[in-house]
Structure 1
């Protein structure tokens, strides 16, 4: 747990599911209410996953979900940010930078030598944030739908 400028960073619980569902909806992922409690419990219990939340005055203002992945051909592991959202009302207050900094610290503790993420091309403000945090643009991203 970290406290900075009255912001507390800690792992959320299933009781935080309604607010996390709202944050995800604002990120473009509506309809998570029916399964978000199960996902939170699953991720929090998994040894290679972490979810961090940022609270200010007992209000959850942001979340970041991390995955730690061993690499076959490189010494260090890598950390992947899968979901990262700060409430629209709290953007510009340093909440995102604080969550990202905690993610970097946790990744280093876990032996990671890099952090990666996918950020859709339409999220221009997020791109600027990541560049300010020291991320580099890596333009290729491929996926295959399995459904």
Structure 2
């Protein structure tokens, strides 16, 4: 079952984030979830089976100034490593596509680190094409 995430899901979300290499998020995760839930252009979903959260999908709608449609960005997409290959990711991807159409988006974008080869194959199977380059500027305080 796909449902809206809540701040009460933060402990499980922290565990899922750790599976993707995002360690030490416990001290701020609950606060970030609350920020996302308050943002009208952000959506955060959990996939739950028998009361257990086994996947997370974070989406953002980003309006474009030079293009007619907005785009939907998949910010985080995590299926518990013990539950992969059970079509849960496909259900969540289809849900993201549904949301994109509902919100008037003309495309979906996702950044996926080059080390995540299995995730690349997943996206390619679902019709995504690689569009390099992606530049990041790290801001330090």
What TM-score, normalized by structure 1, do the two folds share?
A: 0.93
**Are the counterparts in 2 of residues 53 and 99 from structure 1 also a CA contact under 8 Å?**
no
1:74 and 2:46 equivalent? Answer: no
**Are the counterparts in 2 of residues 54 and 62 from structure 1 also a CA contact under 8 Å?**
yes
Q: Which residue of 1 aligns with 2:32?
A: 39
Deviation by residue 1:13-37 (Cα, 9 ceiling, x = unmatched): 1111000000000011011100111
2:41 and 2:61 map into 1 onto residues whose CA distance is: 5
Shift of 1:113: 0.3
Alignment coverage as a number of residue pairs = 140
SS in 1 for 2:135: coil
SS in 1 for 2:82: helix
Q: Which residue of 1 aligns with 2:107?
A: 114
2:51 and 2:73 map into 1 onto residues whose CA distance is: 27
- Contiguous gaps of at least 5 residues in structure 2: none
- Contiguous gaps of at least 5 residues in structure 1: 1-7
SS in 2 for 1:10: strand
1:58 and 2:54 equivalent? Answer: no
Q: Which residue of 2 aligns with 1:94?
A: 87
Q: Which residue of 2 aligns with 1:5?
A: none
**TM-align CA RMSD:** 0.7
Shift of 1:44: 1.2
- Structure 1 ranges of 4+ moved more than 6 A: none
What TM-score, normalized by structure 2, do the two folds share?
A: 0.97
